[in-house]
């Protein structure tokens, strides 16, 4: 497939005078093959109007058809073959093997949501039968969820497939019955065009209304701002920086009718080295720690940006092995020039803190846009003295916090902002003291791991990729896993409706196979 650089507005390709080019971070140069259209206000408005027009036709399709649509998107993405892997790799600087894995994850995610559409429990079916004999008479009440309406999705740069054009936000919004207007990420416009073309083919093949998906691009902020402000948009999915997420939250809150923004933003993902675990396998932990922080050039939302341990010879040894391992790390190409620069600035700010010491650095960059790994350390008592220690540095950078004792470690933990994850390295002898930390972790994070590493987010039913502010804008939700669908539906109750006017799934005895709560009892 040849790229044209056009927008996708409800199945139509559309060009514009405003053009921009993709960027190859490994070469440090623009990719010259095609110029991409930037959307005008009118383009955004047209995409939103098409999404609104598609909403009822799409949301009222039988659930089997909705599921088949999601599966068709997965098939069409796979059918793009090597062209997709090559383009995404070139635009992101990520190796082809990583992109290939991410493609599998993206397709599986769409198929999982197709299954979830069938499962149907997200409809929250509830029936309370009438009791006319009661004083006052008890009405018949039935509840289901309905999709909220058109959803705006902002792709992330660091997962050009799994968290972007047909990523988790798009998949869960479509699964919920909501059309999607995608703000393509300007870091991978060619990848976005390929994915959008796959979605467009799936739309056509499964007979979905054309407005169910549109892609609008743009280098500046105005496209995203117009999109979130558009009165037809009813919810927003976003993965990106805290500043970006907060800007969208402000726009959404200032609308005449505010809408929810699901922004996954910022985290430093503490890892706790419990004493017995550290004693038993400090070396292995140090090596695994560096491997986790260096994965994907450190550009994971769940990157372990903070490691906490109790000061002493074991932690010194851990620090030394980590330092040695990191020193050998080759510099890695980062996603964009902007991210590379922010990484350099973030490291400089950390290094400038009077409380922080640089423990080790990776190898010097061997090309443009390459980030040099860095490991810092700070004493537990000083950690809270400067807010710069709390800021996410997106890239291969992490801070080792040397705590005087478990009390100090707990105190540092309890003063962290909301996080996506916390990890505890723990052996049997640590269980009792670890148990005392659990309530703090539960209040602070969305996912608690033991004896693993936070990078890697399984797409499954029990996943929470979320967490209290500022990890996300809405700690009640997850952007990964099947629970993500619940962000895009809301409950409606039906009181004493004649059977003929009830949604079919709420008619008497018509819930078969779908989880329902009937007169308080759960039934399948």
Secondary structure of residue 391 in the 3-state scheme: coil
| 243 versus 500: smaller Cβ distance to a second copy | 500
Q: Would residue 96 be called left, alpha or beta, if left means φ above 0 and alpha means ψ between -120 and 50 degrees?
A: alpha
Tell me the closest approach of the beta carbon of residue 358 to a second copy, in angstroms: 29
Secondary structure of residue 507 in the 3-state scheme: coil
| 19 versus 517: smaller Cβ distance to a second copy | 517
d(CA 30, CA 368): 12
Tell me the closest approach of the beta carbon of residue 111 to a second copy, in angstroms: 13
Q: Are 268 and 282 in contact (CB under 8 A)?
A: no
DSSP string, 68-114: HHHHHHHHHHHHTTHHHHHHHHHHH---HHHHHHHHHHHHHHHHHHH
**Does residue 301 carry a catalytic annotation?**
yes
d(CA 430, CA 276): 6
**Does residue 264 carry a catalytic annotation?**
yes
The pair of three-digit structure tokens given for residue 8, joined into one six-digit string: 């996708």
Best CA proximity match to 267, nearest among 75, 405, 152, 417: 417
DSSP string, 6-62: -EEETTEEE--S-EEEEEETTTTEEEEEEEEEPPPHHHHHHHHHHHHHHHHHHHTS-
Tell me the closest approach of the beta carbon of residue 303 to a second copy, in angstroms: 16
Kindly tell me the burial class for residue 216, based on how many C-beta atoms sit within 10 Å of its own C-beta (0-12, 13-18, 19 or more). buried
| 50 versus 333: smaller Cβ distance to a second copy | 50
| 256 versus 313: smaller Cβ distance to a second copy | 256
Tell me the closest approach of the beta carbon of residue 459 to a second copy, in angstroms: 10
H or E element: which one contains 237? Answer: strand 235-239
Q: Are 24 and 335 in contact (CB under 8 A)?
A: no
Active-site residue, selected from the candidate residues 301, 392, 403, 417: 301
| 358 versus 461: smaller Cβ distance to a second copy | 461
d(CA 366, CA 246): 35
Tell me the closest approach of the beta carbon of residue 209 to a second copy, in angstroms: 14
| 197 versus 472: smaller Cβ distance to a second copy | 472
Tell me the closest approach of the beta carbon of residue 331 to a second copy, in angstroms: 25
Distance of CA 241 to the CA centre of its chain: 11
Catalytic residues: 264, 301
């Amino acid at each position: 497939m040849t790229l044209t650089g056009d927008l996708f507005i409800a199945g139509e390709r559309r060009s514009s005078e405003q053009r921009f080019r993709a960027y190859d971070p490994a070469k440090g140069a623009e990719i010259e093959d095609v110029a991409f259209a930037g959307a005008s206000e009118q383009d955004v408005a047209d995409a939103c109007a098409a999404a609104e027009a598609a909403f009822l036709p799409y949301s009222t399709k039988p659930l089997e058809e909705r599921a088949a649509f999601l599966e068709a998107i997965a098939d069409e993405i796979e059918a793009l073959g090597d062209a997709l892997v090559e383009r995404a790799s070139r635009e992101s600087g990520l190796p082809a093997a990583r992109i290939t894995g991410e493609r599998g994850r993206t397709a599986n995610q769409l198929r999982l949501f197709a299954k979830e559409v069938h499962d149907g429990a997200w409809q929250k079916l509830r029936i309370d039968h009438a009791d006319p004999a009661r004083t006052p008479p008890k009405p018949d009440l039935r509840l289901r969820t309905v999709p909220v309406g058109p959803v705006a999705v902002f792709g992330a740069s660091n997962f050009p497939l799994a968290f972007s054009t047909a990523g988790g936000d798009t998949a869960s919004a479509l699964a919920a019955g909501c059309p999607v207007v995608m703000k393509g990420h300007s870091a991978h416009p060619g990848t976005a065009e390929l994915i959008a073309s796959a979605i467009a083919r799936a739309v056509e093949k499964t007979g979905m209304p054309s407005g169910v998906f549109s892609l609008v691009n743009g280098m500046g902020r105005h496209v995203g701002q117009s999109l979130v402000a558009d009165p037809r948009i009813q919810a927003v999915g976003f993965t990106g920086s805290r500043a970006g997420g907060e800007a969208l939250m402000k726009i959404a809150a200032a609308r005449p009718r505010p809408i929810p923004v699901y922004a996954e933003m910022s985290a430093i993902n503490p890892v706790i080295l419990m004493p017995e675990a550290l004693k038993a396998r400090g070396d292995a932990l140090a090596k695994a720690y560096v491997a986790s922080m260096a994965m994907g050039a450190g550009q994971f939302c769940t990157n372990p940006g903070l490691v906490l341990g109790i000061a002493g010879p074991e932690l010194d040894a851990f620090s030394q092995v980590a330092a040695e391992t990191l020193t050998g790390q080759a510099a890695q190409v980062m996603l964009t020039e902007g991210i590379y620069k922010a990484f350099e600035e973030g490291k400089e700010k950390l290094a400038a803190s009077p409380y922080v010491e640089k423990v080790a650095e990776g190898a010097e960059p061997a090309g443009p846009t390459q980030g040099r790994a860095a490991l810092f350390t700070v004493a537990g008592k000083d950690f809270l003295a400067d807010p710069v220690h709390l800021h996410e540095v997106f890239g291969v950078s992490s801070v080792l916090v040397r705590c005087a004792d478990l009390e100090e470690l707990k105190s540092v933990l309890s003063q962290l902002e909301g996080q996506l994850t916390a990890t505890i390295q723990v052996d049997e002898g640590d269980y009792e003291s670890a148990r005392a930390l659990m309530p703090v972790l539960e209040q602070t994070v969305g996912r608690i791991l033991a004896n693993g590493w936070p990078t890697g987010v399984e797409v499954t039913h029990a996943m929470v990729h979320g967490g209290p502010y500022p990890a996300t804008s809405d700690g009640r939700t997850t952007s990964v896993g099947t629970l993500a669908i619940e962000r895009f539906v809301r409950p409606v109750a039906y009181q004493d409706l004649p059977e003929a006017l009830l949604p079919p799934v709420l008619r008497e005895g018509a819930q078969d196979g779908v989880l329902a709560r009937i007169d308080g009892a759960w039934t399948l």
